[in-house]
Chains A and B, each alone.
Chain A
């Protein structure tokens, strides 16, 4: 027999957790609007944001559901690093440097929450880039994909078409900016050299007065200005017939630096945002319909016990959603499917227990004893059965990034929601339902015995 005191504590604890979960689950603003006869209501419930500090401890959490690429729209890109010119032992470092570089570029571009990762597939060194909600994806790809090696070259002799490299490269730049030519209004890219660069530039312009100094980007000439006078200020302007986007792009690339190794795109997935939003709405609707069917089914089959299991199911939903917001879990479409599936499986533990209880009653035990025995005996089955699903979730999720297993975001999303769902459902299915049962049935029995 479970001690009554503990049951009551557990009961109120569960109510508290459910309530907190409910608060976390609410969307930022929930419009409330209805009218009935003379009474009308048109207001909004605003969920308070978690933003408080505690001495030195600051806690701020934005409680919105993070959406994966396939829901929010965006791009998933995979690049292969062309490591031909790089020595074998230097390759991992080069890949990491490339990764950092791309992250800088993407950040300058202003993408929120980009994801840049390295990965190794067989002999290939790869970079995985995810850009949520990027509308101008072409630009983004150009931005990332171009090596952007800037260098300055001087003519071999005047009127020669051949250019010789100088020592001045993009490495000597301190900063680059987009500016507008005061005369033509055209976008230009301004350069500011670091001290050594300024020095070098001064020397180059001095010995090339009247000749052309070529500005080359990735071996292609971008601008071929004639030097009028030596420039010792360490500043220069590239006028290259740019559109604004091209100027911005070049500026970003120069600021981030040249990629240490050239890269080539090998996989690309772009999802339009509307597709994602539609999918969300449909899945939510489907989830609710399914939930109602399951709840009705449980009630029909197990009567009052079923009703309590339904309550447990609702609490399960609330807690799971709250956890998604807190952890946070990035939700993808298969992830939503995993969640909805786990709701169906969540009920399994309850069914096992209830069937057990029915059996014990059939064998002549009293309700209370049957309940306790039901929970005890069913646990072994529940444990064994769920371990198998958890093994599969583990493999699908691939938490250690083993390269012989997949690393796809969508599949991991599914594995995560399913696995998480199983853990939580074990909690709600057993602890919550048992507590609810004990609470309500104890009272009921008291009512019966008091008469």
Chain B
């Protein structure tokens, strides 16, 4: 089947998802968690009490603490974000709440990160991403000899990263979903998964090139895709099953981490067949046009 005939359709589909994401990234950016900007996160739980979170907020502010945000995070739990506070402050807050609502809240977790640490982490994160991208590019270039394979694989990889970043920017703006170190982990994992998937397709294209040296490039690519599509989809399905199960049934704290992995996996599967391969074809056509001149 002539998959490559529709390559502009595939690019359009990518654009449909990428453009809103990019706009959101530029306008709203990402919502960073305390890992990156510093601050405190306090999660408390009331067994009996069922007041509104705004009431809790008022009590805390009355005790002299600024609250950045407060939200429910489960049936009985609520999450408070504030500027960095100490453990003693936490005791004060708990006491104030206990007095007002006649029940001592249970401390589920408390995290506080100083701002220098946060900034540092951001730098380390960017370093990791650059390092990974370069290492993977190097490997693909070495394995496939021709630059075009490596570069198109990297473009597909960035495509997937931008899909993830764009979606999380939108989620951050509309639902307050934060980006933390786990998100970065997911991003890096997807980088590699995306290339992993792309490499399988490219591998097949290369093999076909060897077997049919004179053949038309587009035909080769179509053939390769036909042969690998089943495998690519099936492999992704197994991973998606596991991630879906984790997302629906797994713990609260890693929910968005799993979601990021899910988004990335779907995008990665899509991009290896419908972005990476068409890019090769486009490159090839451009090469030919330039040569004719």
Contact = CB atoms under 8 A, between A and B. Distances in A.
Interface of A: 70, 78, 121-122, 124, 137-138, 141, 265-272, 274-275, 278-280, 282-283, 285-287, 289-291, 293-294, 297-298, 301, 333-334, 337, 340-341, 343-345, 347-348, 351-352, 355, 359, 380-381, 384-389, 391-393, 395-396, 404-406, 408, 410-411, 414-415, 418
A406 B123 CA distance: 9
Nearest to B258: A337
A36 to B, nearest CB: 30
B193 A389 contact: yes
B120 A351 contact: no
Contacts of B196: 385-386, 388-389
B200 A406 contact: no
24 contacts: A121-B116, A121-B120, A141-B87, A267-B112, A280-B251, A290-B242, A294-B241, A340-B242, A341-B242, A343-B242, A345-B235, A347-B238, A348-B239, A351-B235, A352-B200, A381-B200, A385-B197, A388-B192, A388-B199, A392-B192, A395-B188, A396-B185, A396-B189, A406-B128
Nearest to A413: B185
A290 B241 contact: yes
Given A395-B135, A405-B124, A337 B246 contact: yes
A173 to B, nearest CB: 29
A266 B246 CA distance: 33
A278 B248 CA distance: 14
Contact of B200 (A70, A285, A385): A385
Interface stretch (B53-61, B64-72, B226-234): B226-234
Interface in B249-267: 249-254, 257-258, 261
Interface in B176-206: 181-182, 184-185, 188-189, 191-193, 195-197, 199-200, 203-204
Most chain A beta carbons < 10 A, residue from B125, B234, B244: B234
B243 interface: yes
Contacts of A290: 241-246
Contacts of B239: 341, 344-345, 348
Interface stretch (B103-111, B160-168, B213-221, B277-285): B103-111
A334 B182 contact: yes
A333 B189 contact: no
A348 B111 contact: no
Given A344-B239, A395-B132, A333 B110 contact: no
Given A266-B116, A344-B242, A334 B249 contact: no
B182 to A, nearest CB: 6
Contacts of A347: 235, 238
B121 A283 contact: no
A43 to B, nearest CB: 31
Contacts of B17: none
B239 to A, nearest CB: 4
A391 B241 contact: no
A268 B87 CA distance: 9
B139 interface: yes
Nearest to B185: A411
B127 A384 contact: no
Contacts of A282: 249-251
A343 B128 CA distance: 25
B237 A384 contact: no
A388 B195 contact: yes
B46 to A, nearest CB: 14
A278 B75 CA distance: 14
Contacts of A138: 87-88, 91
Interface string B130-161: 01100110011001000000000000000000
Contacts of B112: 267-269
A247 to B, nearest CB: 20
Given A138-B87, A280-B251, A359-B227, 6 more contacts: A266-B116, A272-B108, A279-B253, A286-B250, A294-B238, A347-B235
A351 B238 contact: yes
Top 10 nearest A-B pairs by Cβ distance? A279-B251, A290-B245, A392-B192, A344-B239, A286-B249, A344-B242, A266-B114, A290-B242, A293-B241, A269-B111
A384 B125 CA distance: 25
B192 A389 contact: yes
B79 to A, nearest CB: 12
B114 A411 contact: no
A389 B185 CA distance: 12
Contacts of B143: 384
B235 to A, nearest CB: 5
B120 A355 contact: no
B155 to A, nearest CB: 15
A104 to B, nearest CB: 22
A298 B245 CA distance: 17
A381 B228 CA distance: 11
A410 B182 contact: yes
B113 interface: yes
B117 interface: yes
Contacts of B109: 269-272, 275
A347 B107 CA distance: 41
A378 to B, nearest CB: 9
Contacts of A351: 231, 234-235, 238
Contacts of B195: 388
Given A333-B251, A406-B128, A270 B110 contact: yes
B76 to A, nearest CB: 12
A294 B110 contact: no
Contacts of A396: 128, 185, 188-189
B262 to A, nearest CB: 11
Nearest to B112: A268
A396 B184 CA distance: 10
Contact of B191 (A352, A387, A392): A392
A275 B246 contact: no
